[in-house]
Amino acid sequence: MTPVQIVFLLTAALIIGSAVMVVVSRNLVHAALWLVATLFGVAILYAILDAGFLAVVQVVVYIGAIAILFIFAVMLTRKEMRDRGPQHRKDWWIAAMIGLLVLAGLVSVLVGQPEINRIAGPIPPDFDPVLALGHALVSPDAYVLPFEVASILLLAALVGAVYIAASRKP
Amino acid sequence: MQNEWLYIGLFLVIGIIVPIVPLILSRIVAPRKPNPIKQSTYECGIETVGENWVQFKAQYYIYALVFLVFDVETVFLFPWALAMNQLPLFVVVEGIVFILILMVGLVFVWRKGMLEWV
Amino acid sequence: MTFWSDPINFIAEWLRGILTGWGMALDWANVLIASLGIISLILFSMMLAIFLVWVERKVVARFQDRVGPNRIGPYGLFQPFADIIKLIIKEDITPTGADKVVYNLAPVLALASVIFLWAILPLASNIYGVDLNVAILYLVATGALGTLAIIMGGWASNNKYALIGAFRMVATMISYEIPMVVALLIPTILSGTMSVRGIVEAQDPIWYFILSPLGALVFLISSIAELGRAPFDLNEAESEIVAGFHIEYTGMKFGLFYAGELLHAFTFGGLMAILFFGGYRFFGLEQYPLVGFLVFLAKAMFGYWVIMWVKYTMPRIRIDHMLAFNWKFLTPFAFFVLVVTAVLNKVLSGLDTWLFASLIFGANLIIAWITIEILRVYSRRERRLAEGNIPAPVPPAHH
């Protein structure tokens, strides 16, 4: 087994384990911290796939902004940060079956792809992915319109947040 | 390129282990005599009063939200900054339009009074 | 490749020869050599942190017109060792109700997030951990990990003052991250690469401090806020909330937070040097990596001295003033400087280097002048509103 495969298996175990702990933890702040571990695992996956820019952006945006937002929301709004109710419903086996069916469906679709076993070729050394991304984001026949629309989307998010916060203020 | 990230991964692992060494040393060497008065929470020398949670202050959440929007914006600006050097002036104008739209957002949040600490 | 022109690779080749001579496979030899390199880099940064404790105490003493530690060793040089021994042998008191795992993890993560920064710092043209092509965002990412460590420490202490301190600190740090990232965009535009080593290589012959002094200023201000040092140190406001988020930490855990803060300040001094002051460049001396290394350390120490100077000169700023300063002044100002630098860099790109530099420097001066004029008008208006139009006092007539 190549070292990359070992690293991938360890990272996958980290991600799945942390995701399970997010759902299972009774303490909400612990759940938020397990979410940080899951997001970090995804960043490691991006780095394995040679997407260095996406790996650091994942840490900066997800862990540095969104996870902090979650932790603020949890710490500021809950007086009691433990979940004291029962952890599962009476008919949990229906949900488990549906989950397993969805997993089986996804796995069968993926395995049925003709190129599933192809290994990604090495990137030529003079190819700069971030520069190529930059070119793609600003050239008129690539993605410049989605680039500008993204800023309008961010503006809409800002306006929406302000509206909700303003209507709650006394 | 993968070699760089493997090096960083190794660096992360060793970098987490190194600060733990003084802690272990301290655990071996330092005395350990717990008693309830020492371990009570510090509140400027008096007994703690009231519940142990912080009053809900919505302002923290709003700052985090505005920060999130601007953080995503600056992440978008990095590929633009790299590509700008090799492409014509029109590219700079595209980026300026992007920044201006978000400056409008900042002015909106400012005028609505959402940036006051209150 | 002699030792003097490329020390790290020379040593690596020599070790590789020895290890493969003993029969180790090449891959494992490479991993072992990389680990040795990493450990030596980290140990160097920890030694530096220890030295910085002495530097900090001596400098603050001189600013306050006293001598500082001078008993232990010549000029008090062994003072930090005494400090470390004291911190190690102190009892580790965990408050009741503290969340054990998170409480213990926070100081480790705080120091580790600073150590992670040293992987990308180019100490000389050939001495660096790794030349990452997205190094600038890696910098911001390690800042995000530091923020997480603070909020973990504040919450896990089971103490409302720690929590208040942690929230204020994190609100300040995330707010000032925006002008910092925008100020980081300026060297990226001027050099065309996100790799820190590439930025140093591109500062030839003009350092970016001359091309963009306002960018350097914005970076300085926002990095002082990121570090949590005065005048932005509401976290450690001794008269208000005692020690902020690290109230409940004793012994070596507090030592890790403290060492982390000092090393973080020095690393940001180093980053100022790298991004705006030419890094290890010094009028052609950088061909010898060891000389470049010393030049870098000198420049980083200068940057650290500026940060200490600001700390020991200015009073603490109130939290609402801090955040208003960031969102209402520094962020629009940083974006304005970015836009002007981007446009000028594009429009003037064909010119001779010195003409280009002087034009952009002139543009920076014009922006600074316009900003000061706007601030003056605004502050005059505010003052008139606050004082209610009191007429100017007439000087008493002397008989």
| Residue B35's CATH number | 1.20.58.1610
Is the Cβ–Cβ distance between C142 and C113 less than 8 Å?
Answer: yes
ipTM of the complex: 0.88
**DSSP per position, C260-319:** HHHHHHHHHHHHHHHHHS-TT-STTGGGSHHHHHHHHHHHHHHHHHHHHHHHHHSPPPPH
CA angle B26, B28, B33 (to 5 degrees): 85
Q: What is the enclosing helix (H) or strand (E) of B2?
A: helix B2-29
**Structural domain for B78, as ranges:** 2-111
Tell which wins on pLDDT, B54 or C56.
Answer: C56
- Residue B115 contacts A where some CB pair is shorter than 8 Å: no
Facing residues of A82 across strands? A27
User: Are residues C82 and C105 both part of a single domain?
Assistant: no
Report CB contact under 8 Å: C143, A64.
Answer: yes
The tally of domains found in chain C comes to 2
Chains sharing 3 or more CB pairs under 8 A with chain B: A, C
User: Are residues C160 and C85 both part of a single domain?
Assistant: no
Is the Cβ–Cβ distance between B69 and B105 less than 8 Å?
Answer: yes
Q: What is the pLDDT of residue C221?
A: 93
Give percent above pLDDT 70 in chain C. 93
Q: What is the pLDDT of residue A99?
A: 92
Sign of the alpha-carbon torsion through C154, C159, C161, C163: positive
pLDDT-based confidence at residue A17 (cuts at 50, 70, 90): very high
Rg (CA), chain A: 21
> Which residue carries 């490479």 as its tokens?
C30
Whether B118 maps to a domain, the answer reads no
pLDDT along chain C (399 residues), means of 10: 73 81 77 88 90 89 87 84 87 80 90 92 82 90 91 83 82 92 92 88 84 92 86 63 71 87 91 88 75 88 91 85 90 93 86 84 91 91 80 64
Residues with Cβ within 8 Å of A168's Cβ and at least 6 positions away in sequence, in order, are B58
pLDDT averaged over chain A? 86
Tell which wins on pLDDT, B4 or C379.
Answer: C379
Is the Cβ–Cβ distance between A84 and B49 less than 8 Å?
Answer: no
Residue in C363, C368, C359 with CA at minimum distance from that of residue C333: C368
Whether B89 maps to a domain, the answer reads yes
Taking only the tens place, the pLDDT of each residue in B63-89 is 888 999 999 999 999 999 988 888 888
Whether B23 maps to a domain, the answer reads yes
Chains sharing 3 or more CB pairs under 8 A with chain A: B, C
Q: What is the pLDDT of residue B1?
A: 47
Q: What is the pLDDT of residue A50?
A: 82
Is the Cβ–Cβ distance between C155 and C163 less than 8 Å?
Answer: yes
What's C365-379 look like in SS3?
HHHHHHHHHHHHHHH
Least confident of A31-35, B41-45, C278-282: B41-45
Residue B3 has pLDDT above 60, yes or no: yes
User: Are residues C46 and C141 both part of a single domain?
Assistant: no
* Mean per-residue pLDDT, B42-59: 61
User: Are residues C59 and C128 both part of a single domain?
Assistant: no
CA distance A124 to A111: 29
Q: Which residues 63-82 on chain B approach chain C with CB closer than 8 angstroms?
A: 63-64, 66-67, 70-71, 74-75, 77-78, 81-82
Whether C388 maps to a domain, the answer reads no
Residue A72 has pLDDT above 80, yes or no: yes
Residue A134 has pLDDT above 60, yes or no: yes
The tally of domains found in chain B comes to 1
Residue in C244, C243, C248, C242 with CA at minimum distance from that of residue C96: C248
**Chain C contacts of B16, Cβ < 8 Å?**
108-109, 112
Is the Cβ–Cβ distance between C342 and C360 less than 8 Å?
Answer: no
Taking only the tens place, the pLDDT of each residue in B92-112 is 888 899 999 999 999 999 888
Whether B116 maps to a domain, the answer reads no
**Chain C contacts of A39, Cβ < 8 Å?**
none
Give the 3-state secondary structure of residue C7. helix
Q: What is the pLDDT of residue B49?
A: 56
Compare CB distances from B73 to A69, A154, A168 and report the shortest one's residue: A154
Q: What is the pLDDT of residue B58?
A: 75
Closest residue on chain C to A52 (Cα): C134
Residue in C7, C299, C334 with CA at minimum distance from that of residue C183: C334
* Mean per-residue pLDDT, A155-170: 81
User: Are residues C146 and C12 both part of a single domain?
Assistant: no
CA distance B90 to B103: 20
**Structural domain for C120, as ranges:** 93-381
Whether C399 maps to a domain, the answer reads no
Phi, psi angle pair for A73, to nearest 5°: -60, -45
H-state helical runs in C64-193: 79-89, 100-117, 135-156, 160-191
User: Are residues C14 and C76 both part of a single domain?
Assistant: yes
Whether C42 maps to a domain, the answer reads yes
Q: Is A98 exposed, middle or buried (0-12, 13-18, 19+ CB in 10 A)?
A: exposed
Predicted TM-score of the model (pTM) = 0.90
